[in-house]
Amino acid sequence: MQTTNKQTIVSIQLLRAVAALSVVYVHCADDIVCRNFPTAGRFGVDIFFIISGFVIAYVVSTGKDGAGKFFIKRVIRIEPMYLLVTTIMALTAVIFPGMIKNNEISVSGFIKSILFIPGPENNGLPALDQGWSLNYEILFYVVVFLCVLFVRNKRYLTPTYVLILVFIMAGLQFLNTESFILNYYGPSLFLEFIYGIILYRLYTLFETNNCGIIVNRRVKITALTISAIFFYGLMVYCDIGNRYLFMSRGISFGIPALALVGSVLFLEKEIKCNNRAVRFAVELGEASYVMYLIHCLVIVFLAKVVFRETAETKCLLIYEIVKIAITFIVTITFSILVHRFVDMPIQRYLKSVIIKKDT
């Protein structure tokens, strides 16, 4: 796998950047910053889920970490920034009532949010709305953790956690219960983790072993680029006006997202890492988690303070283009800075303190 360093898969970081920017856009266009643009971009989360399935399969298959270290690393990656941003969101809701839409944040709701436990508080949402997807991520990590803990032979790891995810989906689909936690999860979204796991196996098979298949480089680049653009456009089409091709989100968004991720992944060897635009996109991908968490705070601040007089009304198209451009520039800049000077130092410190070096 081509990487910028030992652990970075370039195409994955580019896809993370695309996913995060898609989510930023949908919240910009959701009557907060502007009203003249179509609302689309929720599928960024579906792209993230497929990437997560791919990355976790990669980490588990190639890494030497035990179950405990695997799970601790995942928690360190997610929890510190989530706790920080959730706390800021909760304080903002308390100090500036009306600034945040979901401004009724209870103590129990806050605690459940930071522990990734779905609850009926706060209208059934985490204190930080984006946390809904992290609840899925953590449950996926728990499944993989248990598999790594009890399945000693790596050969059986992948089929084991895929099978468990299938059982979870079947249970959520057919179980009739009043439990809020069980009713919280949509079964079809777990499909997207499975897509990512399967994609990792296919990618390893074709790119590492080559399978004796020789494809003209120009044909490959052209075909995969067209494929990526087509399937991204298809998701935009489906997202505008909720035009689901099927009833299930895991299929309507999941299949095109899988095709998009696969198309970009198979371009990995063709991506030139010395290109400035690529290096910037990779850094943006590395900061995508921070962007996903903080972008709503940035958007709310701009809408309520900078664009206050025009946030709730239709403006000239050119003015709304300017507002979206400013929002993206501020969000991207702030995300990279927070990632560099807050998120990464916290992660490095926690890893040095909590994770013992192999002896």
Report the percentage of the chain scoring pLDDT > 70. Answer: 89
pLDDT for 303: 83
Q: Which of 8-12, 132-136, 154-158, 272-276 has the highest mean pLDDT?
A: 132-136
pLDDT for 328: 95
Q: Which amino acid is at 119?
A: G
* Tens digit of each residue's pLDDT (9 = 90 or more) over 305-345: 887 766 555 667 778 888 889 999 999 999 999 999 999 99
| H helices, E strands: number in the chain | 16, 0
pLDDT for 32: 59
- The sign one gets for the Cα dihedral 56, 61, 67, 73 is negative
- Confidence tier at 357 by pLDDT (50, 70, 90): low
DSSP 8-state class, residue 122: G
Residues 33 and 291: their CA atoms lie apart, in Å, by: 17
pLDDT for 341: 97
Bridge partners of 3, per DSSP, are: 9
Query: Which of 150, 96, 111 minimizes the C-alpha distance to 305?
Result: 96
Q: Which residue has the higher pLDDT, 103 or 247?
A: 247
Burial class (CB within 10 angstroms; exposed 0-12, middle 13-18, buried 19+) of 18: buried
Residues 229 and 264: their CA atoms lie apart, in Å, by: 10
Report DSSP letters for 202-230, one per residue: HHIIIIIH-TT----HHHHHHHHHHHHHH
* Tens digit of each residue's pLDDT (9 = 90 or more) over 160-219: 999 999 999 999 888 877 888 988 998 999 999 999 999 999 998 887 665 556 678 889
Query: Length of the chain in residues, anyone?
Result: 359
Entry pTM:
0.93
DSSP strands (E only) in the chain: none
* Tens digit of each residue's pLDDT (9 = 90 or more) over 113-125: 999 999 988 878 8
CB 193 within 8 A of CB 53: yes
Tokens 């997807």 found at: 133
* Tens digit of each residue's pLDDT (9 = 90 or more) over 252-297: 999 999 999 999 999 998 888 888 999 999 999 999 999 999 999 9
Tokens 């953790």 found at: 145
C-alpha 169, offset from chain centre: 20
Residues 20 and 31: their CA atoms lie apart, in Å, by: 19
pLDDT for 179: 85
Mean pLDDT, rounded, of the chain: 88
